[in-house]
Amino acid sequence: MDADFSLQVLSLVPLAFVIALGCCVGSLINVLVYRMPLGLGVVTPPSECPKCQTKLTWRENIPVIGWILLGGRCRFCRSKISSEYPIVEVCVGALFGLVWVMCYLIPQGTSLAGLDLHQFTPDWARNGWIKTWPIYGVIVGMISCLLAMTIIDARTFIIPLQLAWACAIIGLVGHVGGSLLVNLMGDQTLAITAGDEFGNKYFWAIATPAVGYLGGWWWWIGASIGAMAGLGVGLLMLRLGWIRRSFLDYDAWEKAELARQAEAVAAGNTTGQVPLRPDGTPEDPTQLWTAYPHARREMIKEMAFLAPAAVLGGLSGWLFAMWFGSSGSGAGGMTADGMGVAIDGVSPPPWLLVLSGVLLGYLIGGGVVWLIRIFGTLAFGKEAMGLGDVHLMAAVGACLGWIDVTIAFFLSAFIAMGWTIISAVGGKGVRKTMPYGPWLALASVLVFLLKPLVELGISRLVAGGQPINLP
């Protein structure tokens, strides 16, 4: 009994560590949320009190505990320190701990109110944290980036692209690195299953309907690599000036439009004018964005940017299928144990399957939103969705894979609809307008945390009540 108790206590040591780590990450999020909208560096200048500008020491920067010991006031000028700082730190620490418990600490057979809690443990996590911690790092890294983007977007209606890029890099390095790590540890089976949500399972789901037509797995591997190269070509075209960035003239148009509206208000004409703050900026920035008259024209530029990705993706997919795939139909299938791929050609290594799964998640996650942005804008003449939303969902796709990010995108519409209803009946205490980024972020986290319930909901909606299991 004593030995069992000791093992239980030891199992809590990693949990305590990740909670403490989460609080530290929460402190970093507070820095990002404050500095990025102001254009300040993350590392420099050193942290200081915004009131007295006194440089803070390490004692004032201890997450949560530092705020408590200071009594919520600056040590030097005694000005009040916002409680938002410890709240964010505690929330991030709790999220780190929740994901850890869900992945590694729920025993089989555990239930709550008749609900089997062990079903919420992802398949990859059942191999233990020692071999799958890189994937855990991807998940909590994604959640941290989404939280920072959500707070900034809710305040400024802007998603810092640097945070989306960081999230995508975390997904790429974590998943591919995790697959390589367990391969080096000599566990070839786990080298595949550690990234199964981004390798075999996702490739099986996406390739099966078209496997006889597009060359199977190798087509999708080549297409994902070629499409990413095409995005690089698009960026090069922008840098060389062969195409222009969209909405380059928006700032000038906004300045002229605000000046025109100010003149109209001064002349006594307030009909249809955008309400302004005392500093002359719009109370609701979305009202001015939707008034921009050249949105359809700008979509032509964005389609030109995406054209190389579409062309190179298709061409590269065909070439990979020809070079590495079957000389016949190119069809592939699962091996007898269900853990690998058997192709009449060169079998792709596990790390390449994982890499391609991450790239597909990035491309499809961002592509779905970008297509809706383009066609919605062309249809209605107003910017349908922001490019920040495109980058956000691309980053989520790199971390969760293309299926989960697609589900999250459609789930976000229902969450936003619910908020609209609440704001309509909630009165003055509820904020009426919110950017769409927070709903995308919330939906993405919910899809990961509540995947069995999402599967149940989808099965009832589209599968006639028959149970389904998403990859």
pLDDT tens for each residue of 217-254: 788 889 999 999 999 999 999 999 999 999 999 888 88
**Pair (189, 175) in one structural domain:** yes
| Mean pLDDT of the region 425-432 | 60
Residue 122's pLDDT band (boundaries 50, 70, 90)?
A: confident
CA 323 vs. chain centroid, Å, equals 34
Residues 208 and 231 in one domain: yes
Highest mean pLDDT among 9-13, 66-70, 332-336, 441-445: 441-445
Q: Are residues 232 and 254 in the same domain?
A: no
pLDDT at 343 over 60: no
Residues 335 and 259 in one domain: no
* Domain-embedded: residue 259: yes
Structural domains of the chain, count: 3
Joined together, the tokens standing for residue 88 give 């964010």
Rg of the chain's alpha carbons, rounded to an integer?
25
377, 370 Cβ separation under 8 angstroms: no
The pLDDT mean for the chain works out to 80
Same domain, 442 and 362: yes
Mean pLDDT of 151-176: 92
Better pLDDT: 131 or 65: 65
Question: Mean pLDDT across the stretch 167-178?
Answer: 91
Residue 9 belongs to a domain: yes
Of 212 and 464, more confident? 464
Task: Check whether 212 has a pLDDT greater than 50.
Answer: no
Residue 62 has pLDDT above 50, yes or no: yes
- Cα distances (Å, whole numbers) of residue 34 to 42, 148, 198, 265, 331: 10, 10, 34, 34, 52
CA dihedral 308, 313, 316, 317 (to 10 degrees): -160
Which of 107-116, 263-272, 376-385 comes out lowest in average pLDDT? Answer: 263-272
Res 383: pLDDT: 87
Q: In terms of DSSP bridges, do strands 115-116 and 341-343 run parallel, antiparallel, or are they unpaired?
A: unpaired
Are 394 and 457 within one domain? yes
Domain containing residue 70: 2-90
Place of tokens 């990234």: 195
Verify that 71 and 169 share a domain, yes or no.
no
SS3 102: helix
Same domain, 217 and 323: yes
pLDDT band at 285 (very low <50, low <70, confident <90, very high): low
- Residue 311 above 50 pLDDT? yes
Residue 445, pLDDT score? 96
Whether 373 is covered by a domain: the verdict is yes
CA 149 to chain centre: 9
Q: Is 114 exposed, middle or buried (0-12, 13-18, 19+ CB in 10 A)?
A: exposed
Choose the final residue of a domain: 90, 116, 138. 90
Calpha distance 136→124 (Å, rounded): 10
Amino acid making up residue 384: A
User: Where is pLDDT greater, at 382 or 95?
Assistant: 95
* Residue at 143 is within a domain: no
Query: Residue range 376-397: average pLDDT?
Result: 93
What pLDDT is recorded for position 6? 57
Supply the pLDDT for residue 172: 92
Report the alpha-carbon distance of residue 346 to residue 376 in Å, rounded: 42
Average pLDDT over residues 291-299: 90
Q: What percent of the chain has pLDDT over 90?
A: 38
Domain end (from 55, 90, 125): 90
Tell me, yes or no, whether 144 lies in a domain.
no
- Domain presence at residue 265: yes
Residues 72 and 187 in one domain: no
Please tell me whether residues 275 and 366 are part of one structural domain: no
Same domain, 239 and 256: no
Distance CA 254, CA 248 (A): 11
Residue with tokens 């530092």: 66
**pLDDT at residue 263 is higher than 80:** no
Say if residue 313 is in the same domain as residue 427. Answer: yes
Reported as type and span, the H/E element at residue 307 is helix 295-324
Do residues 140 and 96 lie in contact, with contact meaning Cβ atoms separated by under 8 Å? yes
- Give the pLDDT score at 377: 94
Q: Which residue has the higher pLDDT, 407 or 259?
A: 407
Is the pLDDT score of 205 beyond 50?
Answer: no
- Could you report the per-residue pLDDT of 264-284, keeping only the tens digit for each? 767 766 555 556 555 555 555
Of the candidate ranges 67-76, 112-121, 180-189, the one whose mean pLDDT is the lowest? 180-189
In a domain, 79, yes or no: yes
Rounded to an integer, the average pLDDT of 78-84 is 85
Residue scoring higher pLDDT (430 or 397): 397
Which range among 36-50, 338-352, 372-386 shows the weakest confidence by mean pLDDT? 338-352
HEC sequence for the chain: CHHHHHHHHHHHHHHHHHHHHHHHHHHHHHHHHHHHHHCCCCCCCCCECCCCCCECCCCCCCCCHHHHHCCCECCCCCCECCCHHHHHHHHHHHHHHHHHHHHHHCCCCCEECCEEHHHHCCCHHHHCHHHHHHHHHHHHHHHHHHHHHHHHHHHHCCCCHHHHHHHHHHHHHHHHHHHHHHHHCCCHHHHHHCCCCCCHHHHHHHHHHHHHHHCHHHHHHHHHHHHHHHHHHHHHHHHHCCCCCCCCCHHHHHHHHHHHHHHHHHCCCCCCCCCECCCCCECCHHHHHCCCCCHHHHHHHHHHHHHHHHHHHHHHHHHHHHHHCCCCCCCEEECCCCCCEEECCCCCCHHHHHHHHHHHHHHHHHHHHHHHHHHHHHHHCCCCCCHHHHHHHHHHHHHHCHHHHHHHHHHHHHHHHHHHHHHHHCHHHCCCCCCCHHHHHHHHHHHHHCHHHHHHHHHHHHCCCCCCCCC
Whole-angstrom Cα distance, residue 1 to residue 67?
40
The answer to whether residue 184 is domain-embedded is yes
**Res 338 pLDDT > 50:** no
